[in-house]
Structure 1
Amino acid sequence: MTQSPTPATGLPALEARLRQDLAWLELPAKHWVPERTYNGQPVLDVAIIGGGMAGLAAAASLTHLGVGAVIFDQSPRGFEGPWATTARMETLRSPKQLTGPALGLPALTFRAWFEAQFGLEAWDALDKIPRLQWMDYLRWYRDVLAIDVRNDHRITAVTPQGADGLVALSLTSPAGEHTIYARHVVLATGRDGLGGPTVPAFARELPRRFWAHSSDVMDYATLRGKRVGVIGAGASAMDSAATALEAGAASVDLLIRRADIPRINKGKGAGNPGLTHGHINLPDEWKWRIRHYVNVQQVPPPRGSTLRVSRHENARFNLGAPILDVTPVGDELQVRTAKGTFVLDFLVFATGFRIDIEGRPEFAAFSKFVRKWSDRYSPAAGDEDIELSDSPDLGTAFEFLEKTPGDCPGLERIHCFCAPATLSHGAVSGDIPAVSEGAKRLAQGLAGTLYREDVAHHYTNMETYAEPEVYGDEWTPAPPPPAFDSETATKGEERIA
């Protein structure tokens, strides 16, 4: 943005307002979880893996309830999540007025942050939130709430230690390799949180120099002068195609399996507080039915992202063009589709993500014990859905459940607060509209669990609590009443009669 800050407010004034709001609400609560050590080192209350929007909201919610939370993120400071790395949209698709991770605090919203710097007129003129400006807001969010984020820390193993009531995190950082311990661990690992990018089988047979996934870190300037194919028609396909065109690609062919591009975001039609808070308690068949319908209908690409592609004359939308096979010929690719053969230099697969927890080496200690929805529910014929079947079956605090009880003690100490939680909890663990509600649900569940685990300790604290509220000098004891004379009392009664 090019607007100059509004002197009457500015970020310092907004931050003072936020501090006042927190003080009025008595937030954060005083830390109350008993301190523990293990192997001579302090044990964290909660460790959060991932410092993007969901991880930040989870940490803030826990801190507000008096629970300690530390975030570990593999990225450099200020580059957590996809916004400044692999995301390529110009603006967010979410409406600008959504409050996102603000946790019910008006001074913590993007709007408050924006208006404090650029004023109300600029807010009214804003259509959608620029992607990099959203990242700037999240950086401020982290700083203004003093969230403890340890950057450049990559988790290499997550190991439940049931007998000790802990989870061990093996990690590498600039200080080397070491292990930390936490009573609970939250996986706030984003869209690909329990798996990774998915590509068709034929892609894995191609030399890697010919292709990339839309989520890969990649310099699109390398596509200058090349004939590029983008497979897919969703938001990431449009963003990748537009970025390639803007980087000077000779042409971009979108290869779209469907005969038409989805037009209506069906999930948006169901969005309301009832669904946000009620999805978790729906019968299994309704949970499946709702999420399967959204998957089948597919979410359309944003209008702005699509226009960003179509304004280029060398962009082509090839509908009804599923890929039949791809053959490398020298430095070219012959891509045979139902609509004909395309000769291309490079392919971008905008084909989404898969849930594959057993394919993530850092989860090897527990992944095979995780109960999935395929272990819980069998859909009606015709309603099969691999994404939903592979989704973890989660408890009320987003905790993993054992496929076979007793096989992995301590598994319930690992919590899935990322996209694969959607079937169990609804869209509250990563998308902007309801991330605050999800973070509060997670934090409240963890606070309750931690209290239950230490109830004997808290009861002893109650028994030994000895801070008086009354000191004994607030009153003067009355003298005893005069001696009682039964004969006089009897005569008095006779006179009354």
Structure 2
Amino acid sequence: MSDPCPNATGLAALEARLRQDLAWLEWPAKSWVPRRTVDGVAVHDVVIVGGGMAGLAASAMLKRLGVDNHIVLDRATAGSEGPWVSYARMLTLRSPKELTGPAIGLPALTFRAFYEAQHGREAWQRLDRAPRTLWMDYLVWYRKMLELPVQNEVTVVRIDARAEQLLALDLRSPEGPRRILARHVVLATGRDGLGGPFVPEIADSIDRRYWAHTADTIDFDRLKGKRVAVVGAGASAMDNAAVALETGAARLDLFIRRADIPRINKFTGIGSQGVVHGFAGLTDEWKWRFLDHTIKAQTPPPRPSVLRVSAFPQAQFHLASPILALEEHDDHVVVTTPKGRYPTDFIIFGTGFKVDLALRPELAAFAPHIRFWRDRFPAPAGMANEELSDSPDLGDGFEFLEKVPGTCPALSRLHGFNYPATLSHGKLSGDIPAISEGADRLARGIVRALFVEDRERHFENLKAFATPEIIGDEWTDADAPVPRQPAPITST
């Protein structure tokens, strides 16, 4: 049987089908939010900060629910939003290819449909995981097909509260600085959305030219023929080690604090619609127990990523080897672990990210008021966990909550739709598997808030609505008196 979708002609057919699906679903929904202006300036109902996968899914869901007066801002150039073609260095995604991700329930919008339309069904069957750069191509196509209002090369410098129940955003772009107003702001800002890369303090003992974090821009060509050290055993550590080796590193030392590399992906292993929709209903202690166990077990790197490193004979895995000291010697650094001393020319820290609002100047006005789990929930005995304690405590619509009630009501208009939201909502805002469900929950929360706030206007619209559906000549009242007929006039 021949493949029905072997090439780009198939993609054109898929696009036609998707447009028909959207029309049949009356997508986008009718716009219903009253427009507002302040001092002659138009107000956006929602501004989404971040045009990666989470920001695009959030935008799609808002359009689906009739909130069309919104924009998406991203500091990257078009086609390079998110990590996929910047600091992500894996060959393929880690998620299974079958996951529907940001497709918002539309089969023709899935990655599988996008792939099969161009390469055919047999190629899909042979495919192991989605190639990383092709996933970026898919997101670009997704944005185009849904006509999402993304503005690129725009940086949010600061967000402030306004007296008119609004938020003001100071922006910087190639056209210069400007200020816009919004009723709600969504931070769809990824892994480091409320902080930045985590690097152990010991890195301060050496010059910055000797090290980088996996999220940094790294000139791997400069490491050709060099001795490179990588700290960590997670996926990003393995991916960066592999790129260094593939680029020609003379030696690669991988320093792993644990005595073994994690083997089991706990939370993914119990993944289900029950977890997706039920996690938010758990008590605080049960949420903590689930994620504390997951974090302490750690997520293993993908098997292909480890094999990608171990394929090189100059790659050395050092287990039970936490970094005890870093010392500069002439033009290199010596790494000391419990097992020895290792000269190296450059160190890459694959040590993850941290929540630290001091690293987010755009949130300076809100930082003192944002409530974190540490502010109200003492860790259960034996389950102290700094990462969980530093998680923001979010409301039902991912909105930030006040540390002291009444001190910053504008926080209810600021939504954290990024990875640190996991403790409050589950894994709905930072990874592929349930991003559509997370975007749906976010959008419905914003829709509810907008409608309730405009209730007087909507009620006035209700009272003023007077378009009749029937005009009165469609029936006859059987009990109405029959009009008396005038007597006929006769001539004499």
TM-score greater than 0.5 by the shorter chain: yes
Q: Which runs of 5+ in 2 are unaligned?
A: 484-492
Which one-letter code corresponds to 2:48 in the other structure?
Answer: I
Aligned to 2:324, what secondary structure does the other structure show?
strand
Percent of aligned pairs sharing the same letter: 58
C-alpha distance in 2 between matches for 1:302 and 1:169: 40
Looking at structure 2, the residues matched to 391 and 7 of structure 1 have their Cα atoms a distance apart, in angstroms, of 46
Aligned residue number for residue 92 of structure 1 = 93
* Contact 1:358 1:368 (C-alpha < 8 Å) held by counterparts: no
Check whether the contact 1:28–1:64 (CA below 8 A) recurs between aligned residues: yes
Rounded to whole Å, the distance in 2 between the matches of 1:302 and 1:482 is 86
Deviation track 1:346-375 (CA, whole Å, cap 9, x = no partner) reads 000000000112331111000110010001
Counterparts in 2 of 1:274-285, with a 5 A limit?
274-285=274-285
Q: Does 1:132 align with 2:133?
A: yes
Aligned partners of 1:227 and 1:346 also within 8 Å: yes
Q: How does 1:37-436 map to 2 (within 5 A)?
A: 37-68=37-68, 69-161=70-162, 163-436=163-436
Mapped partners of 1:428, 1:296: distance in 2: 20
Which portions of structure 1, spanning 4 or more consecutive aligned residues, are displaced by more than 3 angstroms? 476-483
Give the Cα–Cα distance (whole angstroms) in 1 for the partners of residues 474 and 340 of structure 2.
Answer: 94
Secondary structure, aligned partner of 2:409 = coil
**CA offsets per residue over residues 279-328 of structure 1, 9 Å max, x none?**
11100000001111111000000000110000011101111111100000
Moved more, 426-435 or 214-223: 214-223
TM-score by length of 1: 0.94
Structure 1, unpaired ranges of 5+: 484-497
Amino acid at match of 2:106: L
Is 1:458 the equivalent of 2:461?
no
**Which SS does the other structure have where 2:434 is aligned?**
helix
The CA distance in 2 between the partners of 1:38 and 1:232, in whole Å, is 51
Matched length: 480
Indicate if the aligned counterparts of 2:51 and 2:74 stay in contact, CA closer than 8 A: yes
The answer to whether the 8 A contact 2:8-2:118 is kept is no
Distance 2:199 2:480 in 1: 91
- Provide the C-alpha distance between the structure 2 equivalents of 1:447 and 1:246, rounded to a whole number of angstroms: 49
- Measured in 1, the distance between the counterparts of 2:181 and 2:285 equals 38
Q: Is the 8 A contact 1:4 1:117 kept in 2?
A: no
2:441, 2:206 → 1: CA distance?
A: 44
Please tell me the residue identity of whatever aligns with 2:183. Answer: R
TM-aligned CA deviation for residue 19 of structure 1? 1.3
Q: Quick check: 1:34 aligned with 2:43? A: no
Q: Amino acid of the residue matched to residue 110 of structure 2?
A: T
- Counterparts of 2:280 and 2:480 in 1: how far apart (Å)? 64
CA contact (8 A) 1:160 1:409 kept: no
SS in 2 for 1:164: coil
Q: Do 1:373 and 1:389's aligned partners in 2 also have CA atoms closer than 8 Å?
A: yes
Q: Distance in 1 between matches of 2:93 and 2:444?
A: 29
Q: Distance in 1 between matches of 2:357 and 2:367?
A: 6
Q: Give the conservation status (yes or no) of the 8 Å contact 2:7–2:120.
A: no
Report if the CA contact (8 A) 2:227-2:250 is conserved. yes
**TM-score (normalised: structure 2):** 0.95
What amino acid does structure 1 have at the position aligned with 2:39? N
SS in 1 for 2:102: helix
Aligned residue for 1:317, secondary structure, equals strand
Which of 253-262 and 199-208 deviates more?
Answer: 199-208
Q: Is the 2:74–2:152 Cα contact (8 Å) retained in structure 1?
A: yes
Q: Is the 8 A contact 1:191 1:418 kept in 2?
A: yes
Shift of 1:158: 1.1
| Structure-2 change in CA distance of 1:368 and 1:4 (3 Å) | farther
Question: What is the SS of the residue equivalent to 2:21?
Answer: helix
| Cα distance change on mapping 1:482 and 1:396 into 2, 3 Å | closer
Instruction: Please tell me the residue identity of whatever aligns with 2:425.
Output: H
SS in 2 for 1:446: helix
Deviation at 1:478, TM superposition (A): 4.5
Shift in CA distance, 243/422, structure 1 to aligned 2, threshold 3 Å: same
1:19 counterpart residue number: 19
- Contact conserved, 2:205 with 2:326, CA < 8 A, in 1? no
What whole-Å deviation, never above 9, does each CA across 1:191-247 have from its counterpart, x for those lacking one?
Answer: 000000011101123211100001101221111111000000000010000000011
d(CA) in 2 for partners of 1:79, 1:38:
34
Distance 2:39 2:261 in 1: 57
- Contact between 1:32 and 1:66, CA under 8 Å: does it hold in 2? yes
State whether residues 160 and 413 of structure 1, in contact with CA within 8 Å, keep that contact through their aligned partners in structure 2.
Answer: no
Cα contact 1:78–1:139 (8 A) shared by 2: yes
Q: Is the 8 A contact 1:4 1:118 kept in 2?
A: no
Report if the CA contact (8 A) 1:46-1:70 is conserved.
yes
CA distance in 1, matches of 2:104, 2:111: 12
User: Residue type matched to 1:314 in 2?
Assistant: Q
Higher mean Cα deviation, 7-16 or 174-183?
A: 7-16
